[in-house]
Amino acid sequence: MEYTEIVKFHGHSCPGSAIGYRMTQAAMDALGLNGRAEDEEIVAITENDACGVDALQIMSGCTFGKGNLIFRDFGKPVFTLFSRKTGKGVRVRFIDTAIPQDALQDREKKLAFILAAPQSEIISIREVSVDMPKPAKIYNTAQCEQCHESVMETRIKPVSGKAFCIPCAMESCCGQADN
């Protein structure tokens, strides 16, 4: 996939999306993947919620909506990708110290460097074996007894013997919810 495809999806060209592009490409190459996941055969863990995650989503097919993108809020430029088919996993990290001093304050220079730098200079890759996250579950839908809106059953909170959704449970007076 070309970087221009990432820009189309992400909305603008920026160093962050270019970093995500290089990281995802490195991870997919290391796993021997050449297309994105139609279903859940690839699982990704991202350790940040910055621009680069859009590259990860469109390139790998690991998306928030499909449940095969897991967010760990560690603030690190790190993605980990697994293939369910092969059981292989790789952790890729962007080496931000590789960016030349004169490119740090210059957005265009920084972007150009990130897109052109040899992979080994800017990405560290290692194989990992981690317990594979379980495939996304489909949960039943329940109805909140307060607002009568549909809500996933696992999100129901009991309030005075009634089944409430989270916003209603919070509104029904702080701390009154049974759990």
Amino acid at 59: M
Binding site for Zn ion (CB under 5 A): 14, 16-17, 51, 144, 146-147, 165, 168
Pick the closer one to Zn ion by CB: 17 or 68.
17
Q: Nearest approach, Cβ of 85 to Zn ion (angstroms)?
A: 31
Pick the closer one to Zn ion by CB: 84 or 109.
109
Pick the closer one to Zn ion by CB: 54 or 82.
54
User: Hey, is 133 helix, strand or coil?
Assistant: coil
Pick the closer one to Zn ion by CB: 38 or 174.
174
Q: Nearest approach, Cβ of 30 to Zn ion (angstroms)?
A: 24
Pick the closer one to Zn ion by CB: 82 or 94.
94
Q: Nearest approach, Cβ of 172 to Zn ion (angstroms)?
A: 9
Task: Report the distance separating Cα 43 and Cα 83, nearest Å.
Answer: 7
User: Hey, is 94 helix, strand or coil?
Assistant: strand
Q: Nearest approach, Cβ of 48 to Zn ion (angstroms)?
A: 12
What secondary structure letter does DSSP report for 46? E
Tokens of 117: 């730098």
For residue 156, which phi and psi values (nearest 5 degrees)?
Answer: -70, 135
| Beta-ladder partners of 80 | 45, 91
What secondary structure letter does DSSP report for 151? E
Task: Report the distance separating Cα 169 and Cα 4, nearest Å.
Answer: 45
Q: Nearest approach, Cβ of 63 to Zn ion (angstroms)?
A: 17
Tokens of 49: 């919620």
Amino acid at 121: E
